[in-house]
């Protein structure tokens, strides 16, 4: 870093003779510092005032900040890849190019550095992501190179058509490695080979943009990473434009405060609540169906061998375990329209307030492909795991005895109050009662409608209709595990009108058909009771075939699918309609509360009924503090960024004006603005240039006389003309003189006062 020179050289008077380039002091001052008064060599001075850190040190620090910027942009892929896999890839891709740029700078031209960096990237990915394809585990073999390039090409499309985050071992992460490496290389070269303030930061901006586009569908928020990215970009601008180490050190806390405020405030701003998902523009491939025997068709077979051990589950929850959701009825059998897509763990689509429950499964004699899980999974990890986003069903092509997997489920909690006010969802597919194979209307449909209306007579709400329907079935028929299988129209009619004996298969299917007959959208779920706690097996529950259970769900607007349990207890069938097979305690309490509702009857909405209207806000009502606080904080952050960014940009524009005269004028205006910001009463509009110099000298002391006099004379010459006219050397001299005055102002004005004036709105207009 720069070393302060505490013994300033003797100041020689500077006059017009100095502009001729002779032995006057002007020639001495021109040779003292760098061309712009900023990135000169360490220890150089103007009128005894040390000019800032050396160009080489500044460029090296800039390259390090650029690497940090590329790393932040790479970490924004947090919602796309698991952090454990992402962090080492980003660290390697951001750090190595920075080291290469520093080592090769000044030794190789740009056209020589780029191939070296490209080869280094191939070695890095061959040694980390594609070791099986590489020679000796790190040398880029043709197979490794091909895999890396294909991964970069195909990763974007694959990530846009899968559930995020990607699986931990996904090779698509090579895209992150490539993007961060390119950004770090380009930014480092720009930092070392150019003098632009913000151009090196532009190289990492596309990486952040790609992360935002791909990560919208992920679980993580991109807003904090964008805020940190902006803060590091401003740090880069500060490092490259500051004239002393003290300026950098003083600006870092302010930048840290701005970034912290942005990280806290930005996620609650309205524009961050629902970011646009580019996946809406991408044609998604159709989800892959999985063929297999219907789970409902297997119920009778499982019940005939009740001691068969199907799987174990380690959990503390008493929630039932879902296996398959069946939503389509063709008149003979119930099937699922589920379409499965790969997932690295996350299962999207859970709505409402849910209680998290962790389960660890080990399959025994349960033959896949469907995998059990409690209620609605929110995360699932296991070999070959796929998920249906619509229903949360899990499956795996590798399902076999010994397979282990872990699921975190969200158990939905309902209240009787919200269910009493619920209306059926507008879901035509869940209301469909199909015609027969010959196209004729099955006679059983009319009979189902009659039974459903009789069972729900007197119900005061749609949810009470569903609850009474479940109670009717529990009282109407007997749970007999030896009953014949079947759940088509004829089987259900026979069950309801003649035999009145069936398994959980017939009870659930009957409920679903009867519900549809009176306008309640329904579906069937096949699963298992959680099993009893064993005395061994590490505390895991043993689930057997006899634990199989089918229940029905009804869809309500704004609530989702609510379960109902129509199967009576095997020990109290026929007369025990108040006791349901496998019904959780909460569901039983809610059903009792719904049935005890004494409110006035409500009409049952049809499937075309619109969603429940929300009350309009009252006229004259004002938004509360929680509404205005984020907006006010956003305005504050925008203002702080403006007062931090505008002055350096304006100074850069003045220093790089088109003509020497314009640059001299810019140096003078910058000096006057600096003096006014320090509280010195000068105005280039009310005072002449010489008068400004005199007033400022009276405040700053004798050390300011020489640079102020030089500036005043050059400003007059540039404004009013003269012979000889100002040239490039005069423009450089003017800006070095400004740098000297600036240092004197900093010495005169305390850090606290400088900070207050730095944050003043006046800095936007000087």
**Regarding predicted confidence, which is higher, 139 or 441?**
139
**What is the H or E stretch that residue 671 is in?**
helix 660-677
Q: 299 and 271, same structural domain?
A: no
Q: Which neighbouring-strand residues pair with 556?
A: 424, 560
Residue 7 lies in a domain: no
Alpha-carbon span 520 to 511, nearest angstrom: 10
Q: Are 310 and 365 in contact (CB under 8 A)?
A: yes
Please calculate the CA angle 258-84-136 and round it to the nearest 5 degrees: 125
Which of 342-356, 424-438, 502-516 shows the lowest mean pLDDT across its residues? 342-356
Question: What is the pLDDT confidence band of residue 637, given thresholds at 50, 70 and 90?
Answer: low
Q: Where are the alpha helices (DSSP H) in 222-330?
A: 223-241, 245-265, 299-304
**Which of the given ranges, 278-292, 632-646, 705-719, has the highest pLDDT on average?**
705-719
Residues 132 and 275 in one domain: yes
| 404-412 and 376-381 beta bridge pairing | antiparallel
pLDDT reading at 632 higher than 60: no
Q: Where is average pLDDT lowest: 239-253, 316-330, 579-593?
A: 239-253
Q: Which of 392, 417, 442 is the last residue of a domain?
A: 417
510 with 586, same domain: the answer is yes
Same domain for 554 and 441: yes
Nearest to 164 by CA among 26, 16, 342: 342
Q: Tell me the DSSP string of 689-737.
A: HHHHHHHHHHHH-GGGHHHHHHHHHHHHHHHH--SSPP-HHHHHHHHHH
**Domain final position from 258, 281, 304:** 281
Q: What would the two tokens of residue 684 be?
A: 């280039």
What distance in Å separates the CA atoms of residue 300 and residue 484, rounded to the nearest whole number? 8
Is pLDDT at 273 greater than 60 in this prediction? Answer: no
Higher pLDDT among residues 470 and 440, named by residue: 470
Angle between helices 625-655 and 245-265 (to 10 degrees): 150
Neighbours of 252 (CB within 10 A): 14
Q: Is position 409 within any domain?
A: yes
Q: Are residues 160 and 256 in the same domain?
A: yes
Q: Are residues 204 and 242 in the same domain?
A: yes
Share of residues in the chain with pLDDT > 90 (%): 30
In a domain, 603, yes or no: no
**Which pair of tokens denotes residue 630?**
């984020």
Number of H helices, E strands in the chain: 23, 20
Residue numbers of the domain that contains 706: 16-38+649-764
How many whole angstroms separate alpha carbon 300 and alpha carbon 631?
A: 60
End residue of a domain, out of 281, 309, 324? 281
pLDDT at 447: 92
Residue 231 has pLDDT above 60, yes or no: yes
First to last CA, the chain: 31
Which tens digits make up the pLDDT trace of 137-179? Answer: 888 999 999 999 998 998 887 787 777 777 777 888 999 999 9
Does 209 map to a domain? yes
- 404-412 and 478-479 strand pairing: unpaired
pLDDT of residue 730: 86
Q: Rounding to the nearest 10 degrees, give the CA dihedral for residues 683, 687, 693, 695.
A: -80
Residues 127 and 226 in one domain: yes
Rounded average pLDDT over 622-628: 40
Tell me what pLDDT residue 305 has: 92
Specify the range with the lowest mean pLDDT, choosing from 184-188, 489-493, 595-599: 595-599
Helices (H), 83-131: 83-104, 110-128
Number of domains comprising the chain:
4
Taking residues 556-562, what's their average pLDDT?
91
Question: Is the pLDDT confidence value at 56 over 70?
Answer: yes
Q: Enumerate residues 6+ apart whose C-beta is below 8 A from 650.
A: 766
Q: 258 and 333 share a domain?
A: no
Question: CA–CA separation, 746 vs 754, rounded Å?
Answer: 8
How far CA 61 is from CA of 37, 41, 42, 645, in Å, comes to 19, 15, 15, 20
The chain-wide mean pLDDT, for the chain, equals: 78
Q: What distance lies between CA 656 and its chain's CA centroid?
A: 40
pLDDT for 373? 94
Residue 462's pLDDT band (cuts 50, 70, 90): very high
Q: In 421-461, where does DSSP find H-type helix?
A: 443-455
pLDDT tens across 57-88, in order? 888 888 999 999 999 999 999 888 888 889 99
Q: Considering only the C-alpha atoms of the chain, give the largest distance between any 2 of them, rounded to a whole number of Å.
A: 122
The residue behind tokens 């061959």 is: 126
Let me know whether 435 and 326 are in one domain: no
What are the tokens at 611? 């969603």
Residue 413 sits in the same domain as residue 446: no
Tell me which of 63-67, 393-397, 434-438 is least confident: 434-438
Do residues 547 and 579 touch, judged by C-beta distance below 8 A? no
Least confident of 238-242, 308-312, 346-350, 556-560: 346-350
pLDDT at 66 (0 to 100) = 93
Give, for 60, the enclosing helix (H) or strand (E). helix 55-75
Distance of CA 40 to the CA centre of its chain: 43
Q: What is the mean pLDDT of residues 493-513?
A: 94
pLDDT at 706 over 60: yes
pLDDT reading at 622 higher than 60: no
Report strand pairing: 522-528 vs 548-556: antiparallel
Residue 369 lies in a domain: yes
Report the pLDDT value the prediction gives residue 624, as an integer from 0 to 100. 40
For 222, the 3-state DSSP assignment is coil
Residue 557 belongs to domain with CATH number: 3.10.620.30
Same domain, 338 and 369: yes
**Main-chain dihedrals φ then ψ at residue 351, nearest 5 degrees:** -120, 160
DSSP one-letter code for 325: E
Does this model's pTM top 0.85? My answer is: no
Q: Is the pLDDT of residue 603 over 70?
A: no
Beta strand ranges found along 370-497 (DSSP E): 370-371, 373-374, 376-381, 385-387, 394-396, 404-412, 478-479
382 lies in the same domain as 515: no
- 426 found inside a domain: no
Dig out the tokens for 450 from the structure: 């009659």
Is 472 contained in some domain?
Answer: yes
501 occurs within a structural domain: yes
The answer for residues whose C-beta is within 8 angstroms of residue 675's C-beta and 6 or more apart is 682, 692, 696, 741, 745
| CB-CB contact of 550 with 524 (8 Å) | yes
């Amino acid at each position: 870093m720069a070393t302060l020179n505490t013994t300033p050289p003797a100041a020689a008077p500077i006059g017009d003779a100095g502009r001729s380039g002779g032995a006057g002091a002007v020639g001495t001052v021109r040779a003292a510092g760098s061309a712009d008064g900023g990135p000169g060599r360490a220890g150089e001075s103007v009128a005894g005032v040390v000019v800032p850190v050396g160009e080489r040190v500044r460029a090296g620090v800039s390259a390090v900040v650029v690497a940090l910027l590329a790393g932040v942009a790479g970490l924004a892929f947090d919602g796309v890849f698991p952090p454990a896999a992402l962090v080492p890839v980003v660290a390697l891709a951001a750090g190595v190019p920075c080291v290469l740029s520093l080592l090769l700078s000044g030794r190789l031209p740009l056209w020589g550095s780029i191939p070296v960096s490209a080869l280094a990237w191939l070695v890095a990915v061959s040694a980390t992501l594609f070791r099986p394809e590489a020679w000796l585990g790190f040398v880029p073999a043709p197979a490794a190179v091909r895999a890396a390039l294909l991964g970069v090409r195909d990763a974007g499309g694959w990530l846009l058509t899968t559930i995020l985050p990607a699986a931990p071992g996904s090779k698509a992460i090579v895209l992150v490695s490539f993007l961060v490496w390119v950004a770090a290389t380009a930014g480092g070269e720009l930092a070392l080979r150019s003098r632009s303030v913000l151009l090196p930061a532009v190289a990492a901006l596309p990486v952040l943009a790609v992360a935002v586009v791909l990560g919208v569908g992920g679980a993580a928020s991109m807003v904090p990473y964008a805020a940190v990215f902006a803060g590091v970009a401003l740090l880069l601008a500060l490092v490259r434009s500051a004239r002393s180490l003290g300026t950098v050190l003083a600006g870092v806390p302010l930048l840290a405060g701005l970034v912290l405020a942005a990280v806290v405030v930005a996620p609650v701003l309205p524009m961050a609540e629902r970011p646009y998902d580019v996946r809406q523009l991408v044609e998604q491939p159709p989800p892959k169906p999985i063929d297999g025997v219907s789970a409902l068709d297997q119920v009778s077979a499982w019940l005939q061998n009740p001691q068969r051990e199907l799987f174990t589950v380690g959990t503390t929850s008493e929630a039932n375990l879902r296996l398959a959701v069946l939503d389509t009825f063709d008149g003979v059998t119930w099937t699922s329209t589920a379409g499965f897509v790969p997932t690295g763990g996350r299962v999207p689509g859970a709505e409402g307030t849910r209680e998290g429950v962790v389960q660890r499964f080990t399959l025994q004699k349960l033959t896949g492909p469907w995998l059990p899980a409690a209620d609605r999974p929110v995360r699932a990890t296991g070999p070959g795991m796929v998920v249906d986003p619509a229903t949360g069903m899990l499956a795996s092509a590798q399902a076999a005895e010994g397979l282990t997997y872990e699921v975190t489920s969200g158990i939905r909690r309902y209240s009787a109050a919200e269910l009493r006010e619920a209306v059926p969802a507008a879901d035509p597919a869940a209301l469909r009662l199909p015609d027969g194979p010959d196209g004729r209307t099955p006679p059983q449909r009319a009979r189902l409608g009659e039974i459903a209306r009789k069972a729900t007579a007197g119900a005061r709400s749609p949810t009470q209709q569903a609850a009474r329907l479940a109670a009717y079935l529990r009282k109407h028929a007997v749970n007999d595990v030896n009953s014949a299988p079947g759940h088509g129209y004829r089987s259900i009619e026979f069950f309801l009108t003649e035999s009145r004996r069936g398994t959980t298969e017939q009870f659930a299917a009957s409920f679903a058909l009867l519900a549809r007959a009176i306008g309640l959208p329904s579906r069937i779920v096949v699963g298992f009771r959680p099993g009893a706690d064993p005395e061994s097996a590490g505390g895991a529950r043993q689930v057997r075939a006899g634990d199989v259970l089918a229940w029905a769900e009804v869809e309500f607007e704004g609530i989702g699918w609510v379960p109902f349990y129509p199967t009576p207890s095997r020990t109290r069938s026929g007369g025990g309609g108040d006791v349901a097979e496998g019904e959780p305690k909460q569901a039983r309490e809610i059903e009792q509360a719904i049935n005890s509702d004494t409110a006035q009857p409500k009409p049952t909405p049809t499937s075309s009924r619109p969603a429940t209207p929300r009350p309009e806000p009252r006229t004259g009502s004002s938004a509360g503090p929680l509404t205005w606080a984020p907006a006010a904080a956003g305005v504050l952050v925008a203002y702080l960024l403006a007062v931090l960014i505008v002055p350096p940009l304006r100074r850069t524009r003045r220093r790089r004006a088109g003509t020497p005269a314009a640059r001299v004028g810019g140096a003078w205006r910058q000096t006057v603005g600096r003096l006014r910001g320090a509280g010195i009463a000068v105005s280039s509009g009310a005072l002449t240039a010489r008068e400004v110099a005199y007033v400022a000298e009276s405040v700053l002391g004798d050390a300011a006389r020489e640079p102020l006099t030089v500036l005043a004379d050059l400003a007059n010459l540039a404004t009013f003309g003269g012979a000889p006219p100002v040239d490039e050397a005069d423009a450089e001299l003017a800006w070095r003189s400004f740098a000297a005055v600036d240092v004197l102002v900093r010495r005169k004005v305390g850090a606290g006062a400088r900070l207050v004036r730095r944050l003043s709105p006046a800095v936007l207009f000087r």
